[in-house]
């Protein structure tokens, strides 16, 4: 599917179903299951590499996995994450790294943060690189944010996220991922801008939803060095495999639940 079709879908009120994907076999399965967007997320640092966070993922990792996903799903829109350190310092380096992801098969690149990143977004968009912004909880800043915490709970922080979303939208980004923010704030942002929003832990009123696929299948039990019994899935996760009999059916059930707005329910939202 092309970006224009995805935007029309959002404008017509049809919810966009996005999932993370890191390899060709899952990409093919997801394309057949009707997933609208595949996100090659740097969450691969956690779910594929067994790390505690995304901080050690490199552009080599991201381009390697993007190539595999693009091979498996030639007809699906692919967004790929820019890894920590690949876009923050200067716009030319950001451009080179974004170009590397596009040459690897991504249709759009995603990076985290508002503020000074708005200029980076505008720089890339003006040079023909489609950009997805990522606001709210931004995993690459986990140390600065003091852990995996909901963002936008105070008036000041909610205002900041809204302000960043408007600025990113004006800079021309194609989508805005909103992670772990109160559902009411995500709705306010979605209503305030033309750019479609994709929520994860951000309530049902975003233009679409994304989940980490290993979470959706109930197979992620925390970093490799930790005992699985110590791990508790975040509130926004639902195991779609539990009530189905195959991975394909679980993915199809996720797509259906996003489209008919039964996921996320109140119990998955903040």
Instruction: Cite the active site residues.
Output: 179
**In whole angstroms, what is the distance from residue 102 CA to residue 131 CA?**
11
Of 43 and 63, nearer to ligand KIV (C-beta) is 43
258 binds ligand KIV, rule: CB under 6 A: no
**In whole angstroms, what is the distance from residue 155 CA to residue 144 CA?**
20
Of 22 and 123, nearer to ligand KIV (C-beta) is 22
Contact 124, 174 (CB under 8 A): no
Please list, in sequence order, all residues whose beta carbon lies within 8 angstroms of the beta carbon of residue 161, skipping any fewer than 6 positions away: 114, 135, 136, 151, 152, 178, 181, 185, 189
**In whole angstroms, what is the distance from residue 164 CA to residue 167 CA?**
5
Of 12 and 268, nearer to ligand KIV (C-beta) is 268
Of 98 and 200, nearer to ligand KIV (C-beta) is 200
41 binds ligand KIV, rule: CB under 6 A: yes
Q: Of 30, 6, 93, whose CA–CA distance to 254 is shortest?
A: 30
> Judged by CB under 6 A, which of 15, 16, 20, 22 binds ligand KIV?
20
Tell me the two tokens of residue 81: 């994450």
Q: How far is the CB of 79 from ligand KIV (least distance, A)?
A: 9
134: buried, middle or exposed (CB in 10 Å: 19+, 13-18, 0-12)?
buried
177 binds ligand KIV, rule: CB under 6 A: yes
> Judged by CB under 6 A, which of 212, 216, 237, 251 binds ligand KIV?
212
81 binds ligand KIV, rule: CB under 6 A: yes
Binding marks (x or -) toward ligand KIV, 106..145, rule CB under 6 A?
----------------------------x-----------
42 binds ligand KIV, rule: CB under 6 A: yes
Of 12 and 269, nearer to ligand KIV (C-beta) is 269
216 binds ligand KIV, rule: CB under 6 A: no
Q: How far is the CB of 139 from ligand KIV (least distance, A)?
A: 7
Element (H, E) at 211: strand 208-211
Tell me the two tokens of residue 121: 């977004």
Span of 36-44, 145-153, 182-190, 218-226 interacting with ligand KIV by CB under 6 A: 36-44
Please list, in sequence order, all residues whose beta carbon lies within 8 angstroms of the beta carbon of residue 218, skipping any fewer than 6 positions away: 239, 241, 242
Residue nearest to ligand KIV (CB): 41
- C-alpha pair distances (Å), 125 with each of 5, 12, 95, 98: 19, 24, 10, 11
Q: Is 197 helix (H, G, I), strand (E, B) or coil?
A: strand
36 binds ligand KIV, rule: CB under 6 A: no
Q: Which residues bind ligand KIV (CB under 6 A)?
A: 20, 39, 41-43, 81, 134, 177, 179, 200, 210, 212
């Amino acid at each position: 599917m092309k970006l224009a079709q995805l935007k029309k879908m959002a404008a017509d009120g049809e919810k966009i179903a996005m999932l993370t994907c890191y390899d060709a076999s899952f990409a093919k399965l997801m394309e057949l299951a009707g997933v609208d967007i595949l996100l090659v997320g740097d969450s691969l640092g956690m779910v594929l590499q067994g790390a505690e966070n995304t901080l050690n993922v490199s552009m080599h990792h991201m381009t390697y996995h993007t190539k595999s996903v693009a091979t498996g799903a030639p007809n699906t829109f692919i967004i790929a994450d820019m890894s920590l350190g690949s876009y923050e310092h200067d716009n030319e380096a950001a451009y080179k790294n974004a170009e590397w992801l596009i040459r690897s098969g991504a249709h759009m690149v995603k990076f985290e943060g508002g503020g000074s990143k708005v200029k980076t977004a505008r720089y890339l968009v003006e040079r023909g690189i489609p950009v997805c912004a990522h606001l709210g909880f931004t995993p690459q800043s986990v140390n600065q944010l003091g852990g995996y915490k909901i963002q936008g709970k105070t008036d000041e922080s909610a205002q900041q996220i809204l302000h960043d979303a408007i600025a990113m939208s004006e800079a021309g980004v194609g989508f805005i991922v909103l992670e772990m923010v109160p559902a009411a704030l995500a709705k306010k942002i979605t209503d305030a801008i033309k750019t479609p929003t994709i929520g994860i832990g951000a309530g049902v009123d975003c233009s679409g939803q994304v989940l980490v696929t290993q979470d959706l299948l109930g197979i992620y039990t925390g970093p490799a060095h930790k005992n699985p019994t110590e791990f508790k899935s975040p509130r926004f996760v639902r195991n779609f495999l539990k009530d189905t009999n195959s991975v394909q059916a679980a993915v199809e059930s996720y797509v259906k639940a996003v489209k008919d707005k039964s996921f996320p329910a109140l119990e998955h939202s903040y």
